[in-house]
């Protein structure tokens, strides 16, 4: 299995460079090879997820010198397996959806090349065992996403991409500066090696400053409140398949994942930092939902909703960190972290589906304004049904998957005696239900406004939405402890047991 690790980067990177060359010879190469490539990665990632082996791969075979890791390490543990699975599965379904959707744009080859480049960058971030190469892969993925946001080359798309680039570059500067500070103090870039050195480090002020820089930089990438300004414009202006990847996958792979990885596996737990992360998660959860409820543009509503749902994920991790930092019951921390990981998986599915549904609506009606829509359920039954399923899931209505992940986070907060956090999580879920009921009523029910002759979207688009709504129901089985242990426990153990990650880098 060790030899599979670099393929997650090599395959999409190679395809990204091959598409512009062979794509000139045939119009069907890009839209065929991209789903096939992602289907292969799906198979690899799912196979690895159910394999208990945790491994590292040294690029080029550069072995440690005097116990100093000088090579580039790719590390595959339970947490990285789970995120790889999310990237591959959602990426595959979005690529199928794009076959019909992107045909209305010119330069399809450029779209698929950038899409593969974004996948390669995200996989690199998830697998990278050293912090500088993590930054390099992060830049690959975000540069591709800047271009994809502007893919329609309209005024709004270009403006949104420019704003995204400006704030993204600020985030990148903060991240690179913090990496330089860590290298200055530890003389290494390997995450496991930094972790070992920081255990004996005395400068708490330096560490706190570096951690704040990292939270700010990656908080911008994850669009956590108050670092969210770029997200509503970028997600609403991008083509819907890109919006689904940005919201469903990218902000977690290059934002949430890295924050969690570094603060669980590189830095020692401190209660103060755990409180900061929990507060940011809580603010994102509340403010994101309050901003969403007044939106009448479908994709802007979904964008603000993403901020709120990321808040739930950060909240669960923050609760777990606070429990561990205070020396509380590890079982409670495990419950909170499991809930967050579960919600990461769920959010990728239901938010990806919602953006694809929004794309289907715009594809047929040429508008995202809910005031101009209505009665589409008669003419677009698949879009209507799948969007309803996703709306119920994100609102936390049983038996959909979103209910169970939110419930686990709330139970963990109650058992840890964070009653206010649990109460706020319930209130935000009710607000979420309110604005998604508004969305359903305005778009699919009521009086049909001049859209009586439209029809359902093409098969490829419908198929992706049907598979995702099935997942919205099917993933509810992760609420069963025995099944959750098989799928999520490896990831939880990788975060809780710091030495497990460090020992994967043998030097």
DSSP 100-155: HHGGGSS-HHHHHHHHHHHHHHHHHHHHB-BHHHHHHHHHHHHHHHHHHHTTT-SH
Distance of CA 461 to the CA centre of its chain: 21
Tell me the pLDDT of the chain (507 aa) as tens digits: 567 889 999 999 999 999 998 988 887 888 899 999 999 999 999 988 888 778 888 887 677 666 677 778 888 888 999 999 999 999 999 999 999 888 877 778 889 999 999 999 999 999 998 899 999 999 999 999 998 888 876 777 888 888 888 888 999 999 999 999 998 888 888 888 888 888 777 667 888 889 999 999 999 988 898 888 888 888 788 888 998 998 888 888 888 999 999 999 888 878 889 999 999 999 999 999 999 998 888 989 999 999 999 999 999 999 999 998 888 788 899 999 999 999 999 999 999 999 999 999 988 888 888 888 888 888 889 999 999 999 999 999 989 999 999 999 999 999 999 999 999 999 999 999 999 999 999 898 877 667 777 888 899 999 999 999 999 999 999 888 888 888 888 888 888 887 777 777 755
CA separation (Å) from 503 to 191, 386, 494, 507? 11, 44, 11, 9
Q: Tokens for 284? A: 């994102």
Contact present, 268 and 203 (Cβ < 8 Å): no
Q: Tokens for 141? A: 């993925």
Q: Report how far residue 164's alpha carbon sits from residue 143's, in angstroms, rounded to the nearest whole number.
A: 10
**pTM confidence score:** 0.93
Q: Rounded to the nearest 5°, which phi and psi values hold at 72?
A: -90, 120
State the residue for tokens 């990847």: 245
Q: Report how far residue 289's alpha carbon sits from residue 396's, in angstroms, rounded to the nearest whole number.
A: 14
In eight-state DSSP terms, residue 369 is B
Model pLDDT, residue 151? 83
Residue 431, C-beta contacts closer than 8 angstroms, at least 6 positions apart = 289, 290, 293
Model pLDDT, residue 158? 84
Model pLDDT, residue 202? 62
Long-range CB contact pairs, 286-294, < 8 A, 24+: 286/311, 286/424, 286/428, 287/225, 288/225, 288/228, 289/428, 289/431, 289/432, 289/435, 290/431, 291/232, 292/432, 292/435, 293/431, 293/434, 293/435, 293/438
Residue 345, C-beta contacts closer than 8 angstroms, at least 6 positions apart = 82, 86, 401, 405, 475, 478
State the residue for tokens 């690959």: 140
Residue 365, C-beta contacts closer than 8 angstroms, at least 6 positions apart = 372, 373, 376, 451, 454
What three-state secondary structure class fits 56? Answer: strand
Q: Tokens for 57? A: 């791969």
């Amino acid at each position: 299995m060790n030899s599979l690790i670099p393929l997650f980067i090599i395959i999409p990177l190679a395809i990204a460079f091959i598409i512009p060359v062979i794509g000139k010879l045939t119009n069907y190469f890009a839209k065929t090879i991209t789903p096939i490539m992602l289907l292969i990665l799906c198979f690899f990632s799912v196979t690895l997820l159910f394999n208990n082996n945790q491994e590292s791969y040294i690029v080029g075979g550069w072995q440690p010198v005097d116990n100093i890791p000088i090579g580039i390490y790719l590390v595959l543990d339970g947490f990285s397996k789970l995120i790889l699975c999310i990237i591959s599965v959602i990426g595959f379904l979005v690529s199928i959806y794009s076959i019909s959707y992107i045909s209305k744009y010119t330069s399809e080859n450029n779209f698929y090349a950038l899409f593969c480049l974004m996948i390669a960058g995200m996989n690199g971030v998830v697998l990278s065992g050293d912090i500088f190469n993590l930054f390099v892969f992060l830049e690959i993925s975000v540069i591709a996403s800047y271009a994809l946001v502007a893919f329609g080359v309209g005024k709004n798309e270009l403006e949104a991409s420019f704003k995204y680039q400006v704030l993204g570059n600020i985030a990148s500067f903060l991240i690179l500066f913090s990496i330089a500070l860590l290298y200055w103090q530890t003389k290494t870039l390997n995450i496991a090696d930094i972790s070992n050195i920081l255990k004996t480090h005395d400068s708490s002020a330096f560490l706190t400053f570096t951690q704040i820089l990292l939270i700010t930089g990656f908080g911008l990438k994850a669009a956590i409140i108050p670092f969210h300004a770029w997200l509503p414009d970028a997600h609403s202006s991008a083509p819907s398949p890109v919006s689904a990847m940005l919201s469903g996958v990218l902000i977690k792979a290059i934002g949430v994942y890295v924050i969690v990885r570094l603060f669980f596996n590189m830095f020692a737990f401190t209660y103060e930092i755990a409180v900061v992360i929990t507060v940011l998660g809580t603010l994102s959860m509340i403010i994101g939902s309050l901003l969403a409820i007044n939106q009448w543009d479908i994709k802007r509503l979904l964008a603000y909703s993403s901020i709120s749902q990321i808040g739930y994920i950060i909240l669960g991790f923050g609760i777990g960190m606070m429990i561990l930092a205070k020396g509380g019951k590890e079982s409670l921390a495990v419950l909170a972290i499991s809930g967050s990981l579960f919600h990461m998986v769920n959010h990728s599915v239901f938010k990806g589906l919602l953006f694809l549904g929004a794309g289907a609506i715009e594809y047929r009606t040429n508008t995202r304004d809910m005031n101009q829509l209505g009665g589409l359920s008669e003419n677009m039954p698949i879009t209507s049904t799948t969007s309803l399923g996703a709306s119920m899931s994100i609102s936390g209505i049983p038996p959909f998957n979103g209910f169970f992940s939110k419930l686990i986070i709330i139970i963990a907060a109650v058992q840890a005696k964070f009653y206010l956090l649990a109460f706020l999580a319930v209130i935000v879920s009710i607000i979420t239900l309110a604005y998604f009921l508004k969305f359903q009523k305005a778009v699919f029910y009521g009086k049909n406004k001049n859209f009586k002759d439209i029809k359902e979207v093409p098969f490829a688009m419908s198929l992706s939405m049907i598979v995702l709504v099935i997942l919205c129901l099917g993933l509810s089985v992760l609420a069963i402890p025995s099944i959750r242990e098989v799928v999520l426990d490896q990831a939880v153990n990788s975060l809780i047991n710091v030495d497990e990650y460090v020992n994967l880098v043998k030097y």
